[in-house]
Amino acid sequence: MNALFLAATIFIFKADFRQITFILWQSETFLMNSITSEEMHALDANCTHFGLLPLQLMENAGAALAREVRARTTGKRIAIVAGRGNNGGDAFVAARHLADFEVITYLLGRSKDLSTDEAKQNWQILEALGFDLIEVADPNDMKLQDFDLILDAIFGTGVRAVIRGLEAAAIDAINSAGKPIISVDVPSGLGTNKVVKPDLVVTFHRPKLGMIGEVVVADIGIPPAAEFFAGPGDLWLVGKRMPESHKGDSGRILVIGGGPYTGAPALTAMAALRAGADVVTVATPESASSTIAGFSPNLIVRELTGDHLLPGDLGFLKDQIARHDVVVMGMGLGRDPETHEALAQIIPLCKKTVIDADALQPDHPLKGIVTPHVGEFKRISGIALSGADYRERIDPLKGYAREKGLVVLLKGKVGPVSNLITDGEIVRANSNGNPGMTVGGTGDVLAGVTAAFYARTSALRAATAAAFVNGRAGDQVYLEKDFGMVATDVIEKIPEAMRL
């Protein structure tokens, strides 16, 4: 631990060991544990997916905030300056928990414009119980200098626009009041033209990037499993097509597969299209090209030579690789020595790769995302993954991913886990999917979805979201067809599985 790190960080562990105070400035540990506003939004969505509802989290946040206010204030008069979103809602809960103080809650704007159901419900509780509530049109009416403490709850994470009007004036009023200030989750306006300058920030669950000064991290009941298991929030992180998008903006995918087998690359290609890729091209040996082209008129098929992938195809493929954002390879290629030689030369040419099936060989220069099942993982790593506890697989997977600089998306059900995903540092898991998905071809579908997402986001995010969507689509098919499902059924459910 270096001297700068020691000087930069003071840790005060509270008696319950759940809250940590960070003082002075952002330390190495603070940054490592920080979460961005978009990641927090995704986590909130995943919590809802698993049944941990926003109203519960708001109650926990408000209670934690009130505990910290109670411990810090030396007077009885507290002013809450609240915005119309969930940041304000957290403060409404805190007001209820601080009923033995003289609390006045100032809402910037009108209560009918509160933007979330949770904030509305907690405002209505305060109204019904006779708390002091004032809807503010002019911040000069707040008289903040008359209070002992100001609670800043105007904006939470994710505010990026220039702050003007009522909110800008309120921030100025808070900063000029000359009273102690506690900000809720983040200083309002952090990263914009107007920002509150608090004495303390009570932030929830994990530190947020960009904060300085004294920060208390409050536990609000989000368990580690909520960050471990994939959910709709991970799909949200991939992003959607913008209204002004043009052809190709959402990804151009090249599938290199087929020869001995024809169905696998077609499944991968169609899955990539259903997952939102704009253009999907299948480069396949001559012997498979007509069959794959007949699978769907939506596919672009580029014919290679021979009946299997050859080193002589490299010249043509170089041009195709340069025209595409992601190359997904291995499905149905077979294991001919010439194919093996060709793949070893192709992989280094690619910017982004998803490597599956026959392309997963120990002496290939693997990169990007690999999608092995347990047997294929042993083939490329020499590591046998066994046991009925998925946790026994985590360290070997992390070690291999870190050593090779890969993202590993491991297929195979163990206990509650259907997939493990790691980049060597972060480990995620997917828990959906069903026994019907052991049918052939669902792994090819997963590779296609992964490639489509990888064109739009990072490797770890793409692999995590793809595992969730593939399993969710399979679960929707299973409800209708039970063990009669086939891989093409899963492909057809991908758009429905991607709805947020």
Mean pLDDT value across the chain? 92
Q: Looking at 15-24, 68-77, 172-181, 296-305, which range is the least confident one?
A: 15-24
Digit-coded pLDDT (tens) for 411-436: 999 999 999 999 999 999 999 999 99
Q: Which residue has the tokens 């990037």?
A: 209
pLDDT at residue 341 is higher than 60: yes
Q: In what order do the strands lie in the sheet with 417-422?
A: 300-303, 279-284, 252-256, 326-329, 353-355, 369-370, 407-414, 417-422, 427-430
- pLDDT-based confidence at residue 211 (cuts at 50, 70, 90): confident
Digit-coded pLDDT (tens) for 345-366: 999 999 999 999 999 999 999 9
Percentage above 70 pLDDT, the chain:
93
Task: For the full predicted model, state whether its pTM sits above 0.85.
Answer: yes
- Which has more pLDDT, 248 or 448? 448
- pLDDT-based confidence at residue 19 (cuts at 50, 70, 90): very low
Half-sphere exposure (Cβ direction) of 139: Cα atoms closer than 13 Å = 22
Outline which parts of the chain fall under CATH 3.40.1190.20.
Answer: 232-497
Outline which parts of the chain fall under CATH 3.40.50.10260.
Answer: 3-222
pLDDT at 13: 30
Q: Which residue has the tokens 């409404």?
A: 92
Q: Say what angle helices 487-497 and 459-481 make with each other, to 10 degrees.
A: 110
pLDDT at 244: 67
- Alpha helices by DSSP H, listed for 215-362, are 224-228, 232-238, 263-274, 286-293, 314-322, 337-346
Architecture of domain 232-497: 3-Layer(aba) Sandwich (3.40)
Nearest by Cα to 473 from 452, 449, 440:
449
Q: Retrieve residue 1's tokens.
A: 């631990």
160 DSSP 8-state letter: -
Single-letter residue type at 315: G
Digit-coded pLDDT (tens) for 435-474: 999 999 999 999 999 999 999 999 999 999 999 999 999 9
Digit-coded pLDDT (tens) for 161-180: 899 999 999 999 999 999 99
Q: CA 203, 207, 209: angle at the middle one, nearest 5? A: 115
- pLDDT-based confidence at residue 241 (cuts at 50, 70, 90): confident
pLDDT at 7: 30
CA quadruple 277, 283, 288, 293: dihedral sign:
positive
DSSP string, 115-141: -SHHHHHHHHHHHHTT-EEEEES-GGG
163 DSSP 8-state letter: P
Within 10 angstroms of residue 3's Cβ, the number of other Cβ atoms is 7
pLDDT at 32: 52
Q: Retrieve residue 136's tokens.
A: 């503010």
CA pair distance 393, 410, nearest whole angstrom: 10
pLDDT at 186: 96
The answer to whether the CB of 148 falls within 8 A of the CB of 182 is no
pLDDT at residue 15 is higher than 60: no
CA pair distance 5, 353, nearest whole angstrom: 38
Distances (CA, A) of 165 to 115, 172, 187, 227, 452: 18, 11, 18, 37, 42
Average pLDDT over residues 468-491: 97
Q: Tell whether domain 3-222 is in CATH 1.10.600.10.
A: no
Beta bridge partners of 108: 136
